[in-house]
Amino acid sequence: MIRSHHIRPPAYLFAVVLLGAGCAYFNTFYNAQAAYREAMRLKEQGQNVQAKAKFDKAIEKSALVIQRWPKSRWADDALFLIGSSYYEGAQYDKAIRHFDQLTLAFPNSGFVPRGELYRGLSLLADKQYGTARVVLDAVKQKYPKLADEASYNLAKSFIDRKELARGVDSLAAFHGRFPRSRFRASAVKLLAGGSFTLERYVDAEKWYSEYAKLTDDPKQRALTKLKIAACRYELGKNEEAVAEVNDVLGRYVDLDDEANLLLGKALTAMDRPADALAAWAKVRGPSDFGAEAAFLTGKYHEEGADFERARAYYDTARTRRADSDYGVLALKRLSLLDALAARRSGKRAGGDSLQPAEAMFLIAEVNNLNLGDYDRAMELYQKVHDSFPDTDWAAKALFAKAWILRNVRNDTTGAEPLLRQAIAEYPETEYADESRRWLGLPVPKREKKKPEAVPETIAMRPPPPPEETLQAPGSEPGPMPPESEPADTGDFTARHEPGRFPHERREPGRLPERPELAGGPHGPRGMPGTSPGALEVEMERGREKPAGEPSHHVDTLPGHTGIPPEPPAKGPAPETVAVGMRDTVRVELPSAPSVDTAEHAQPPAKLRFEPIRFATDSWQIQPADSARLEADAESLKAHPDVKIVVVGHCDPRASERYNEELGLKRAQAVRDLLVSSGVDAGRISVRSDGEKHLVSTKPDEYWLDRRVEFEYK
């Protein structure tokens, strides 16, 4: 009889199986780590699209570890890696959620301290500043080894938010408390730049000098020497500035433009105009430095009455970098040159005749809309009314004065008498009708008749906002020193431009007076040794335009008005995975975003919101529009099923890239106001169309293009 035996597998087979299982989840997590490291490498190289794909892979592999082996030793590692991937991929809301889950599900994990730190950093990046400060302050208290990183990032956040004074003070405190921190060099560099922007030049020179000792990069040290030279120039130590610049020139080709620009400024201050012009002539790049050098050269030639060269250099400045501060200032100087030339010749750039009233009004418009000199503009508008009371331009001038008081000065009380005066003196004009609308008075019905001459320099409904200085993302130039004031109040030139020049005591490009052009003892703000701009002096003396001076037509009349966040990915709901016996972790698997191709839904009648208009180069919402948006917010709250897209638009001036960014800022400003008024942020998305969808291409109707519109879902 054959006895049956129960065959038991040898013990080593169980070990092999267990080892295989362990290797499986370890290999999965190892692949996740490898994808994350590769993503970080690609991100550092600026290959963001490829980096995102690797971050998504790291998330996918880490999520798989948690799903299949939730009790493994790698579960907390995987959850931390998911949060880190979302953080580095700028998906801060998801990063916050996963770091929070890490603390809840694995309170004893060694990854919790850094997870809390990254949660705070994610909150900062997501602009949840109050909550971020609470989290990072807790990190500083609970985890001393991370206190320097938490303190540095809190201080840096003030710089990122343009709260420079607070940021500089916080970074200085950090520098004193953590002298050996690995963030010291970065903090000192930010301290130097922030102090320079705040015009604390002594402090800036000190911080730049310290940074030069901390950096191992020879090119960074050379750049720092240029910054030190700039500080010394601002402090009036021009000989020292020239010496520092000469020590850097020629060492790095890509620093030569900045060096020559600064050298020219210092030489200008040392009364060496020929050497200054020679230095600026070497600045040729299509950059901010190139635009500024060309502008300063053009200003020099304008003051020397060489208008042909002035126009050429202003045009070069505009071409080199149209969206830079000096590129825009150049365009404004060209506008002023054209306006004044038109007044002298009595003809527009196209050759059409220009009436005296219109010519004077045109100069007022340039001061108002292009140069932002509202006091001078109001003077000239009043002169138009007083000198030409029987023309349409007189009514228009009264209305323009009221517009400045109402929309720029927020002085509705001061605007009301002007509006009533326009109604009383010119009751049949469109300006009187618009004045009635502003005052809430009934507008009489009348047959529209074609006017004899349609004004071409200002639009009517709604009136355009004032011109403001073009602002590069993140910076805002201060006031420029005024031009010399002529003795005759009949001068129609602008006395100053927006945009801060390097010194309060002098204007860039204002070189020492040349003997053959000496024209008066007083310069800007009564400073001796400088003369008024030759163009203004010419206008003051009534000289004729030199024969053969080229006409450079520039649109002088503005008018009203990144990348948008992607729609949330559509896909399955986040999976809930068991972790231990007492808690769960929600892991969001990556899914490709879907594109909604449906047509925009027609909104309820009450939700047909009017466009929001903006001043040139601005995303600030006017007080009247703020009140209207608050009412729109109430309507949105009453229709919770309606979602909207806020779309920003710009007029066609400046570059496409700049206009796309400006349009996005306008859309974000409107969204932020609606959210602050109680509308759920999830119902509002933003988009910038830049200059893609223009309402009008006429210079006097640019205000129609500067707007935010609404689409409905």
Asked whether the predicted pLDDT for residue 306 surpasses 60, the reply is yes
Nearest Cα neighbor of 97 from 86, 111, 108 is 86
Task: State which amino acid sits at residue 705.
Answer: D
Q: Are 290 and 284 in contact (CB under 8 A)?
A: yes
Q: Are 422 and 432 in contact (CB under 8 A)?
A: yes
Question: 649 Cβ partners below 8 Å, 6+ apart?
Answer: 561, 663, 666, 689, 690, 691, 692, 693, 694, 705, 706, 707, 708, 709
Q: In the prediction, which pLDDT does 138 show?
A: 93
Mean pLDDT of the chain: 75
Asked whether the predicted pLDDT for residue 33 surpasses 50, the reply is yes
Q: Percentage of residues in the chain with pLDDT exceeding 70?
A: 71
* DSSP designation for 696: -
Least confident range from 34-43, 219-228, 330-339, 642-651: namely 330-339
Assigned CATH class of 373-466:
mainly alpha
Asked whether the predicted pLDDT for residue 558 surpasses 50, the reply is no
How would CATH label the architecture of 590-712?
2-Layer Sandwich (3.30)
Task: State which amino acid sits at residue 634.
Answer: E
d(CA 134, CA 120): 8
With 0-12 / 13-18 / 19 or more C-beta atoms within 10 angstroms meaning exposed / middle / buried, residue 549 is middle
Cross-strand bridge partners of residue 711: 645
Tokens found for residue 449: 């008749």
Q: In the prediction, which pLDDT does 56 show?
A: 93
CATH superfamily label, 10-142: Tetratricopeptide repeat domain (1.25.40.10)
Nearest Cα neighbor of 61 from 592, 593, 589, 585 is 589
Asked whether the predicted pLDDT for residue 422 surpasses 50, the reply is yes
Q: In the prediction, which pLDDT does 370 show?
A: 61
Domain range annotation of the chain: 10-142, 284-353+470-557, 373-466, 590-712
d(CA 192, CA 210): 9
Q: 552 or 400: which carries more pLDDT confidence?
A: 400
For the residues 462-485, what does the mean pLDDT come to?
A: 35
Q: In the prediction, which pLDDT does 462 show?
A: 43
Question: 253 Cβ partners below 8 Å, 6+ apart?
Answer: none
Q: Are 361 and 396 in contact (CB under 8 A)?
A: yes
Largest Cα–Cα distance in the chain?
Answer: 135
DSSP collapsed to 3 states, 617-663: CCCCCCHHHHHHHHHHHHHHHHCCCCCEEEEEECCCCCCHHHHHHHH
Q: How confident is the model at residue 516 (pLDDT cuts 50, 70, 90)?
A: very low
Q: 334 or 35: which carries more pLDDT confidence?
A: 35
Tokens found for residue 560: 């009203």
Tokens found for residue 543: 């000289």
Nearest Cα neighbor of 378 from 358, 349, 357, 408 is 408
Q: How confident is the model at residue 297 (pLDDT cuts 50, 70, 90)?
A: very high
Q: pTM for the whole thing?
A: 0.54
Q: What is the pLDDT of residues 144-177, one digit of tens each?
A: 999 999 999 999 999 988 899 999 999 999 999 9
Q: 11 or 106: which carries more pLDDT confidence?
A: 106
Asked, colleague to colleague, whether 10-142 and 373-466 share their fold, the answer is: yes
Asked whether the predicted pLDDT for residue 435 surpasses 60, the reply is yes
For the residues 296-319, what does the mean pLDDT come to?
A: 88
Most confident of 88-92, 283-287, 549-553, 656-660: 88-92
Q: Using CA of residue 67, residue 71, residue 73, residue 77, what is the dihedral sign?
A: positive
Q: 65 or 459: which carries more pLDDT confidence?
A: 65
